[in-house]
Chain A
Amino acid sequence: MHRTQILTNVVAVVIALASLQAVAAVDVYGEFQKKIDRLETDLKKEKDVTRRYDLFLKSYREMSDLRAKNPRQAEEKEINMSMFMDTLSYLPEKKSFQAKKCDEYKKEVNNMMKSYAKDQKEPFVEKAFQVVELICRK
């Protein structure tokens, strides 16, 4: 094989490997946000509160696994994702969930995660509050 041809092949393989790696690397933050959007849409559609809670639990677990299986992201992104997850961590597990206690859950989540300074907006906490609202809507 001609020397130039060998070099061309090597370069082609390197480029192919690099692009494969790029495809394999997951955009964790983007995926995480998509899962929030999908969850919101699903919660809006579902009429039964217990099924809504199941939908939430499924997404919540998926989001957690998505983060656990991938490398740590940029700090701002990690903080945002944790703000969302931790806000919802104050909701009960499946076996303890009772639809009639929804107001208590909302109160607990709000008590723990609200800010006293009005100028401190935390978009991912707001998104989590919205999820709680959607689960508990009447």
Chain B
Amino acid sequence: MKPSRASFWVYTFCCLATFAAFGWYGLYYSPSTAELASTAEERVIKQLQTVNKSLGAMAPTPKDDMSCSCQMGEQSNIITFEKPEDCGDDRNYLQDKFQAFKKADPKGLFTAGRDYSKTADVLPRKCVLYIMRKFWKNRALTPEEKLQADIEYNRTAPPDQQRDIKPVTEYKKDPHLFAKCDKDPNGLPERYGHKACVTEDYVNLVYNSLIDVADCLDVPAKFIAPKLSNESGLHVNAFGLVNDGGIGQFTDQALADVAQNFDNFRGRIVGSTKESCKRLKSFPGVVPASGKEILVQDANRCHAISTPPNPLRSLVYYGIFYHATKRNANGAFNKSKDDKDPNFKSIEELLKQAGIADYDREKMKEMLFVMAYNAGPGRPAIIYREWLKYRLQTIKKYPITKADFNMDYWPTRDQLKAKYGEERAKALNKKGKPLTLAEYMFAYKDSLYIAAVKAQARMLNKDLGEGTCTEPKFLQM
């Protein structure tokens, strides 16, 4: 029988539909070996799966998105990696360390590229690249270099944008906020002024480490990104002015907390079946045998900086620090009574008195938890309680609203100059209106920490898209 034109098309359509169905089946349903049966139909499915897999292997790895509303590289609106040849010798000082890392990581678990589209929901790789490039300055300048830079700038700047040329003595030298640990990997860091070249290898190492720690220890990457952007800019060798070192900017007190909690968390890493945890524990020096091996003294700060095994070790410590601080900060927030003091008022009681018992507790806790990274777990809750008591004095005239929790705040230069305390409260010039929580913390405790982290989140949202690198409504009531 000669097939008609119509039946030819019906036949073709059926074949294509069958192939499409089998293709879909192969893509979305991957049976385990135990489930594989030996029917003819299943053998065909298996063959189709093999074909699909081999096609998949030939397909190019999806590129991760590098778009940005910024100029960070040659092309506008695309962030690019720096190239070693463009950075100069003074910024390539970590290259040999990265080579050493590669040698210690022959399988490329942390140093090789991954399919970054798979972890884009956790935190896109461009967030890490952006944060690393944006942090501080590429080079710390001397007063002479600053003077020269102003002179150079004025040569091409329009008349209305000319900079004041001051005597060289009036220029301040930039602080040196990075470190080298060449002499002793567990010793005292040597301060250094220039940021390491932000190459693709460097970004991949930091990103792979961050993603694995986030997954293994259940740390929300988008929650910690603005915080780390504020602290270390995700640089392995960041070294703050109070000897806070490494990607996690650890001080001796913070490292002591990690050491104290380490043994509880070690089991969680070592006993886990997660691939991320398996990778972490496989790398030498990342998961010490016990908390006693954690070196907390300032003289040993390279322990949290030197690479390898940092940034892995420092990030594992950060994961532990995150959970320990969160537990204690929430404990301070929830403190309901003091058996020794009948006049003690809990946050809960004060919230009811203030008529805001329906406000989101988790958001309040989030703010105090962020502050706790710096101020310690107990102090932020005390300041918060004092602010609530302060607000209760004027609550009838000025009821508390969500605007009182607005952390999109930054003081003026004059307000910054005023000595903290009553003088600064006056400088805020609220004309009788009470201070918001952010203003109160700044006026009376000289603390802008939450506002500074919020500013980082705002910058990330503006340049990389709302919610791309931060959690939704981060630090926002």
Contacts and interface: CB of A to CB of B under 8 A. Distances in A.
Interface string A91-126: 111100000000000000001111111111010010
Interface string A66-89: 011000101110110011011111
Contacts of A122: 379
Interface string B328-356: 10011001001111111000000000000
B338 A89 contact: yes
B338 A72 contact: no
Contacts of B341: 60-61, 64, 85, 89
B257 interface: yes
Contact of A64 (B252, B342, B422): B342
Contact of A78 (B251, B339, B342, B386): B386
A49 interface: no
A126 B51 CA distance: 70
Given A60-B340, A75-B444, A116 B373 contact: yes
Which secondary structure dominates where chain A touches chain B? helix
A86 B343 contact: no
A78 B340 contact: no
B162 interface: no
B445 interface: yes
Contacts of B252: 118
Interface in A25-65: 57, 60-61, 64-65
Contacts of A91: 340
- Among A67, A94, A115, find the residue whose CB has the most chain B CB atoms closer than 10 A: A115
Contacts of B452: none
Interface in B220-276: 242-244, 251-254, 257, 260
Contacts of B379: 83, 113, 115, 122, 125
B374 interface: yes
B340 A89 contact: yes
A113 B378 contact: yes
A74 B25 CA distance: 71
A117 B375 contact: yes
A117 B243 CA distance: 10
Contacts of B260: 111
Interface of A: 57, 60-61, 64-65, 67-68, 72, 74-76, 78-79, 82-83, 85-94, 111-120, 122, 125
Given A75-B386, A115-B376, 13 more contacts: A64-B343, A76-B444, A79-B445, A83-B382, A88-B340, A89-B335, A89-B341, A111-B377, A113-B376, A115-B375, A116-B257, A117-B251, A118-B242
30 contacts: A60-B340, A60-B341, A61-B340, A64-B342, A64-B343, A64-B344, A67-B343, A72-B390, A76-B422, A78-B386, A79-B386, A79-B444, A82-B385, A83-B379, A86-B378, A89-B335, A89-B338, A91-B340, A94-B340, A111-B260, A112-B328, A112-B377, A113-B376, A116-B253, A116-B254, A116-B374, A116-B375, A117-B244, A117-B374, A119-B242
